[in-house]
Amino acid sequence: MSGPSFNSQSVDDGFLRSAGGQLAKFAVYALTGFALLIYLLSVLAGEASSIASGNAIDFQANAITIALREEPPQLDANRATDASSNVVLAHVMEGLLGYDIDAQLVPGVAERHEIREEGATFWLREDALWSDGVQVTARDFVFSWKRVVDPETASQYAFILYPIKNAEAINRGELPVSALGVRARSERILEVDFERPTPYFDKLVAYLTYFPVREDFFKSTNGRYGADADMLLYNGAYVLTDWVHGSTMTWVKNSQYWNRENKGFLDEIRIGYITQDINAKLNLFKDGQIVDTHLLSPMLPTAMEQRWQIDRSMDGAVFFLEFNHRDDRITQNKNFRRALQLAQDPNELVYKVLKEPSYLPGVSLFPAWLSGVSESFQKEYPPVQHQVNVEKAREHLELARQELGLESFPPLMMLAGDTPIGLLSAEYYQQLFRKHLGLEFRIDVQIFKQRLEKMRQGDFDIVLSGWGPDYNDVLTFGDLFSSWNLQNRGRYSNQEMDALIRTAQSELDVHKRMDAFGEIQRLLYEDVVILPMYERGFSFVVDPRLKGFRRRSVGPEVDYNYAYVEELSDLTIDLQ
Amino acid sequence: MLLYILKRVFQGFITVWFIATATFFAMHNVPGDPLTNDRAMTETTRANLEAKYGLDEPVSTQYLIFLRNLARGDFGISFVQENREVNDIIREHFPVSAILGVLSVVFAATGGVLFGALTALYRNRLPDYLIMFLVILGISVPSFVVAALSQLSLVSLNTLLGFTVLPVAGWGTVMHMLMPALVLGLSTMAYLTRLMRSSMLEVTSSDYVRTAKSKGVPPTRIFTRHQLRNAILPVVTVLGPAIAAITTGGFVVELVFAIPGLGRYFVEAVQQLDYTVIMGTTVFYGAFLVFMVILVDVVYGFVDPRVSLDA
């Protein structure tokens, strides 16, 4: 093998040339074949799926293209639980009340309403129509609500109807569905009886579980209600005309919609893409294919390079460390919890660790955007001023050790989700508590459903948890730590807290009601039920030609109901 | 021949059954279930949902029910996409993955064979070094990086030229397919190039090539008949599993390019613990992989004269 034979070089050269030529010929064949195959595939694929086309804004058609995060599992409002369904339904359906562009509650299908101590009455407008031209009546709401609480339906959001008389008992299977405290006094008058006084009922009926469903149409779908575009009847500003699963959707302006003068200005909204990949969405936005996208902090430099206008909004959710208050846990000891509270600082977490400019350091369970009596709740009821005090923290830890009769603290379990932010936060707390208090935490990282299951079983000492609002009232956060709330995974139980929450649920005097929330906020801090981490926000960019677009803290995360398009005014105005 | 195929098909069924069983019990041992949601459910609601989906039965009974339905080819209804049958999900979304997969494999195979032969011909010269450098890159850089980078460069290209050369994401036309197929096939192409190169080199130094040369057979004929045809055999062997791997492994590419393929449903089902979809896609993919392996073995009988299937 070693050393070439005397004249092999020239032979090999000849061989090389000819073989190279042969290869080149093959390459040409391959390319031709490839092109042919592509042509064939294009013919095949042309029928299989629709074309996600069009640029971000189509002025001629008065249309925009957007991307959706996930495919909605189905569009049955009575049973929907996820954010994507919420977005779609908020554009194609309308409840008794709705939200205006500034997220203020305004009349929807009901032109006026009255909430009393024992019940409520809604007067439906005459011109509220379904997309097939039939009037929306009180009976459609009665049918829908009875369906939600029917145990057969197994709606996961049935609890949101519990203020209605007998709803909970029906949902538990203890009473027949007909016992539900709601009836149509006439086509246009809907009457509701309450289980207990519910002063915030107007906010509840704006939620999608309360949307109407028409009985005859529902029955005609044979159990496929909400599964496809033609399996749903619409009464919102848009109708869904086309839904290719996992790929595209089209919403078209609803010509039957009563308020079309003030809502639904675009003729068409095209969902051209369904992807969770935020980088892909950024690229689509950069390429002018979609009108808006949200940004993570690593993308901000790119956005600034492009000189985009970057906006911020709160997504509504609050994140916190939740303690396990069960008796067999070290974390049930108040001095122990106080020690952790005094050692940590949400400002450091948000500003130095997470560095997401749209996040706010957590100061309370009740986020900054919630309203109180007449202005922001946090302004009217300022949260306790938190001061870091490591000295005092160590004293409390020592007290806790004595109370628990421990030699030293065993390693504790910190349950966290598998998101980058979740991991970063968990690691921050891990090293913080080790440094200041000498405590050892083991981080148990779990994907979403596994984490929820471990929370349900109480398999944690501390869990990184969060809560997003269902409706625009302090109570959507306020009743979380009542002893009867299933969401109270740490099983915190305190009679004083329960009494305050009862007041907050039923008190008709708005001042007394907000006072109760103020007390709840104080108690949450003083009893160290949770440690607030941050309020989540989003940085986002919008095509400058799109106006009236909103990101929401409550309801759909993105709202195009009031969006319209406008050519950019030419800045080089002729001065003559 | 027929006996051999029958034997292999029988073995294939056993394999698929084994995959299904292992997946079924692994899935049921993970904490949580498809009904777990961030809004806590009342006991009644949970009980009703469990009854609806048959989750109230013991796991062994559920397994028997699953097997019975499997025999009928019925995977049931998705827990998450509540109104869709798993069979419909597979029927609607697998063709998308398949089209993408076929395109990438064609791309990978032609590219791999061509580049492999080229590097072997120009061994230890510039083209060889250059291509092998790219091959190492192609094998070692993960697909999510390649996908993101290629998408980004598409954006830059479109912006630079002022019109859409290739769409950035989405699905529908051939233009939508080119970039994702290229990205998806890249690592396979790199792998095939390396395989083709080593197998070419082995063949080149073999006795029959030397004999052919000494007989004075024209170089073109030696190259195509003796070298290429023999060197391509290992490539054909890995092609079957490669098709299956590419078709099933497109999750990242499907996500980045917003393609409604089955890979996305497969991975999301696992995250959502959507039992029926997990089982449906796993069994389907498993069967597909087994089928491709059998197919390759049969094809091998035709390509390689040394292999006889009658034994």
- CA A180 to chain centroid, in Å, comes to 29
d(CA A168, CA A173): 9
Would you say how long chain A is, in residues?
Answer: 576
Closest by Cβ to A276, choosing from B168, B220, B255: B255
Strand partners, A312: A539
Q: What is the pLDDT of residue A42?
A: 66
CB spacing of A283 vs B154 below 8 angstroms: yes
* Residue B132 amino acid letter: M
Give pLDDT, residue A13. Answer: 66
- Residues A69, A85: Cα–Cα separation, whole Å: 10
Q: Is B267 on the interface with A (CB under 8 A)?
A: no
CB contacts under 8 A, A 129-188 vs B, are 151-152, 154-159, 171-173
Q: Are A247 and B155 in contact (CB < 8 Å)?
A: no
The pLDDT of A218-243, averaged and rounded, is 93
Q: At what angle do helices B174-204 and A8-48 cross, to 10 degrees?
A: 150
pLDDT of residue A45: 56
First to last CA, chain A: 88
Query: What pLDDT score was predicted for residue B248?
Result: 73
What tens digit of pLDDT does each residue of A103-132 get?
Answer: 889 999 999 999 999 999 999 999 999 999
| CB-CB neighbors (< 8 A) of B28 in chain A | none
Per-residue DSSP letter, B138: H
What pLDDT score does A47 carry?
Answer: 43
pLDDT at A571: 53
Burial per residue of B210-233, b for 16 or more beta-carbon CB atoms within 10 angstroms, e otherwise: eebeeeeeebeebbeebbbebbbe
Cα A510 from Cα B237, distance rounded (Å): 76
Per-residue pLDDT tens digits for A259-304:
999 999 999 999 989 888 888 899 899 888 999 999 988 888 888 8
Amino acid residing at A101: I
Residue pair A191/A182 in contact (Cβ under 8 Å)? The answer is yes
A226 contacts chain B (CB < 8 A)? yes
Mean pLDDT of chain A: 90
Residue B56 makes CB contacts below 8 A (sequence gap 6+) with B47, B50
Is any Cβ of chain B less than 8 angstroms from the Cβ of A4? no
**For tokens 């390459």, what's the residue?**
A27
Q: How far is the CA of A574 from the CAs of A356, A545, A570, A571, in angstroms?
A: 43, 21, 10, 9
Q: Which of A10-24, A421-435, B81-95 has the highest mean pLDDT?
A: A421-435
Instruction: Give the dihedral sign, CA B78/B82/B85/B91.
Output: negative
Looking at residue A572, its pLDDT comes to: 46
Whether residues B219 and A42 touch (CB distance < 8 A) is answered with no
Q: How far is B202 from chain A, CA to nearest CA, in Å?
A: 13
Task: Give CA–CA dist A549/B229, Å, rounded.
Answer: 62
- Which chain A residues are closer than 8 Å to B32 by Cβ? 449-450, 452-454
- For residue B283, the model assigns a pLDDT of 93
The segments of chain B whose pLDDT lies below 70 read 305, 307-311
Q: How far is B217 from B237, CA to CA, in rounded Å?
A: 29
Stretch 461-490 of chain A: residues touching chain B, C-beta under 8 Å: 485-487, 489
CB A126 within 8 A of CB A132: no
From chain A, pick out residues whose CB is under 8 angstroms from the CB of B250.
none
Q: Cα A79 to the chain's mean position, in Å?
A: 16
Residue A573 has pLDDT above 60, yes or no: no
**Encoding tokens for residue A127?**
């011109």
| Residue B309 confidence (pLDDT) | 64
CA-wise closest residue to B144 among B305, B257, B300? B257
DSSP E strands, chain B: none
pLDDT of residue B289: 86
Distance in angstroms (rounded) separating the CA atoms of residues A31 and A37: 10
Residue from B90, B103, B125, B151 to probe the interface with A (highest A Cβ count within 10 Å): B151
| DSSP calls for A509-551 | SHHHHHHHHHHHHHHHHHTT-EEEEEEEEEEEEE-TTEES-EE
B122 has a chain A CB within 8 A of its CB:
yes
**Neighbouring C-beta atoms of residue B1, cutoff 10 Å:** 10
Q: What is residue A2's predicted lDDT score, i.e. its pLDDT?
A: 41
- B143 to chain A, any CB pair closer than 8 A? The answer is no
Reported confidence tier of residue A211, pLDDT bands at 50, 70, 90 = very high
Contact across the interface for B96 and A273, Cβ inside 8 Å: no
Identify the pLDDT of residue A12. Answer: 62
- Cα separation of B257 and A284, whole Å? 10
Question: What is the greatest pairwise CA distance in chain B?
Answer: 86
Q: What is the pLDDT of residues A507-548, one digit of tens each?
A: 989 999 999 999 999 999 999 999 999 999 989 999 999 999
A52 touches chain B (CB under 8 A): yes
DSSP sequence for A43-64: HHHHHHS------SEETTTTEE
A22-55: b or e for each residue (b if 16 or more CB lie within 10 Å)? bbeebbeebeeeeeeebeebbeebeeebbbbbeb
What is d(CA B82, CA B88) in angstroms, rounded to the nearest whole number? 12
Q: Give the minimum alpha-carbon distance from A235 to chain B in angstroms, rounded to a whole number.
A: 22
CB-CB neighbors (< 8 A) of B112 in chain A: none
Q: Looking at per-residue confidence, does A451 or A3 come out higher? A: A451
- pLDDT, mean of residues A199-213: 95
| ipTM of the complex, rounded to two decimals | 0.80
CB contact B236 to A (< 8 Å): no
Distance, CA of B110 to CA of B104 (rounded, Å): 10
Which residues of A are less than 8 Å from B164 in CB distance? 287
Number of inter-chain CB pairs under 8 A, A vs B: 212
- B301 CA to chain A: closest CA distance, Å? 25
Distance CA A293, CA A288 (A): 11
* Residues forming a β-bridge with A311: A540
The helix/strand/coil state of A190 is strand
Contact A517, A377 (CB under 8 A): yes
CB-nearest partner of B174 from A18, A42, A287: A42
The C-alpha atoms of residue A183 and residue A146 are separated, in whole angstroms, by: 10
CA atoms within 13 A on the CB side of A386: 28
- The answer, yes or no, to whether residue A50 has pLDDT greater than 60, is no
Q: Is A242 helix (H, G, I), strand (E, B) or coil?
A: strand
Decide the pairing of beta strands A238-244 and A248-253: antiparallel
Which secondary structure element, helix H or strand E, spans residue A495, and what is its range? helix A495-506
Smallest CA-to-CA distance from A110 within A89, A86, A80, A140 is with: A140
pLDDT in tens, A394-403: 999 999 999 9
Nearest Cα to Cα of residue B254 among A276, A420, A288, A43:
A276
Does residue A128 contact residue A134 with C-beta atoms inside 8 Å?
no
A82 has a pLDDT exceeding 90: no
| DSSP code at position A375 | S
**Using CB atoms and an 8 Å cut-off, which of residues 63-102 of chain B contact chain A?**
80-84, 89, 92-93, 95-96, 99, 102
Using alpha carbons, select from A154, A153, A177, A155 the residue that is nearest to residue A165. Answer: A177
Distance from CA of A258 to the nearest CA of B (A): 31
| CB spacing of A51 vs B39 below 8 angstroms | no
What's the CA gap between A459 and A395, in Å, rounded?
Answer: 28
The residues in A 79-98 lying below 8 A from B, measured between CB atoms, are 79, 81
Q: Give the one of B32, B155, B264 whose C-beta lies nearest to A287's C-beta.
A: B155
Which residues of chain B have a CB within 8 Å of the CB of A224? Answer: 83
Residue A420 burial by Cβ neighbours in a 10 Å radius (0-12, 13-18, 19+):
exposed
- Could you tell me the two tokens for A520? 């709840």
pLDDT value, residue A575: 42
Structure tokens at A349: 């977490």
- For Cα atoms A408, A453, B251, give the angle at the middle one, nearest 5 degrees: 115
Partner-chain contact B260 A273, CB within 8 Å: no
- Predicted confidence at residue B33, as pLDDT, reads 84
Is residue B27 within 8 Å of B63, Cβ to Cβ? no
Question: Distance between CA B137 and CA A138 in Å, rounded?
Answer: 65
User: How far, rounded to the nearest angstrom, does the alpha carbon of residue B7 sit from its chain's CA centroid?
Assistant: 24
**Can you give the pLDDT at residue B247?**
79
Cα–Cα nearest to A320, from A489, A205, A100: A489
Report residue A14's pLDDT band, with 50, 70 and 90 as the boundaries.
Answer: low
Nearest beta carbon to residue A26 from set B114, B122, B164: B114
